[in-house]
């Protein structure tokens, strides 16, 4: 496969992944296997994927800010709570082998699917909060560790924490989510960069697609609202379930 073919494949995968990550989550379940398929070992794929994640969230934050949906003060507080766990998770990711990483990835993906199909009680949604509960402090540390370690499905975890622990509207949840993921990804990216586990050529191709997909998703989230996000969540979970069952 030529470099151009690889770049085009990754751009297309990136568009779908960026859209999924902003509206729902799980986009890295497409990008990580794609990078490994194109010849990267799992650690380099894990590091290279962070370039796309950073650019996609910058793109989404820009759109949400233009639409006057940003709540930077709370987003910053939530993001900072993830950083200690993020660094620990990224260092841990470097210490395990490819085979162990792939087994853990498979188990985690099954867990993500199960957590998404379990019915949850209806909650009253809010658009603003003035205080962050202690339960969210603990959840953000755990989310940070997971994000530094593997990233896949972290959007679902953040959405669950913010919606069920802080009772936020799904549009506002997405506003905070893209900011949190951006901030927690930066130190993890630095760990992978310093350790030489980044492929810039493939990473930039993927990142271009992710940024476009994220821009598109943020626009639709603002326009369509919470019902649209719920619909995409259902479709995303279905696609991930088919992938885990080796249907495609």
- pLDDT (average), residues 92-102: 73
Better-predicted residue by pLDDT, 140 or 229: 140
Q: Is residue 68 a part of any domain in this protein?
A: yes
Backbone phi and psi for residue 124, each to the nearest 5 degrees, phi listed first? -80, 125
- Cross-strand partners of 126: 168
Instruction: Provide mean pLDDT across the span 89-108.
Output: 73
Cβ(114)–Cβ(153) under 8 Å?
A: no
Q: Which domain holds residue 100?
A: 10-244
Q: Which of 140, 145, 153, 124 is nearest to 244 (CA)?
A: 153
Q: Is residue 51 part of a domain?
A: yes
Instruction: Measure Cα distances from 116 to 130, 156, 238 in Å.
Output: 28, 8, 10
Instruction: Provide the domain count of the chain.
Output: 1
Residue at 59 is within a domain:
yes
Interval 160-194: pLDDT, tens? 888 888 888 878 888 999 999 999 999 989 999 99
Any domain includes 157: yes
DSSP code for 162: I
- The predicted structure's pLDDT at residue 51: 96
Q: Indicate whether 5 belongs to any domain.
A: no
Tokens representing 130?
A: 């003035």
Residue 1 maps to a domain: no
pTM score above 0.85? no
pLDDT at position 218 is 87
Tell whether 3 is covered by a domain: no
Average pLDDT along the chain:
82
**Which pLDDT score, from 0 to 100, does residue 180 have?**
93
Nearest to 23 by CA among 151, 208, 177, 242: 177
**Averaged pLDDT for residues 128-136:** 78
In a domain, 4, yes or no: no
Of residues 150 and 118, more confidently modeled? 150
Tens digits of per-residue pLDDT, 192-227?
A: 999 999 999 999 999 999 999 999 888 887 777 656
pLDDT tens profile 25-69: 778 878 888 898 898 998 899 999 999 999 999 999 999 898 888
């Amino acid at each position: 496969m030529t470099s151009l073919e690889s770049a085009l494949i990754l751009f297309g995968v990136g568009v779908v992944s960026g859209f999924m990550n902003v509206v729902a989550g799980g986009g890295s379940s497409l990008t990580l296997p794609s990078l490994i398929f194109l010849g990267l070992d799992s650690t380099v794929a894990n590091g290279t994927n962070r370039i796309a994640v950073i650019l996609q969230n910058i793109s989404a934050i820009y759109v949400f800010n233009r639409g006057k949906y940003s709540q930077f003060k709370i987003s910053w507080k939530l993001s900072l709570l993830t950083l200690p766990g993020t660094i620990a998770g990224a260092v841990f990711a470097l210490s395990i082998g490819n085979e162990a990483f792939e087994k853990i990835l498979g188990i985690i993906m099954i867990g993500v699917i199960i957590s998404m199909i379990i019915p949850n009680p209806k909650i009253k949604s809010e658009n603003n909060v003035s205080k962050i509960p202690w339960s969210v402090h603990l959840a953000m540390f755990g989310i940070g560790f997971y994000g530094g370690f593997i990233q896949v499905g972290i959007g679902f975890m953040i959405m669950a924490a913010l919606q069920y622990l802080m009772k936020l509207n799904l549009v506002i949840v997405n506003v905070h989510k893209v900011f949190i993921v951006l901030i927690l990804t930066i130190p993890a990216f630095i760990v992978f960069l310093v350790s030489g586990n980044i492929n810039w050529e493939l990473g930039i191709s993927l990142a271009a697609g992710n940024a476009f997909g994220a821009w598109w998703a943020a626009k639709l989230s603002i326009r369509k609202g919470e019902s649209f996000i719920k619909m995409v969540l259902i479709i995303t979970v279905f696609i991930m379930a088919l992938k885990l069952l080796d249907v495609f």
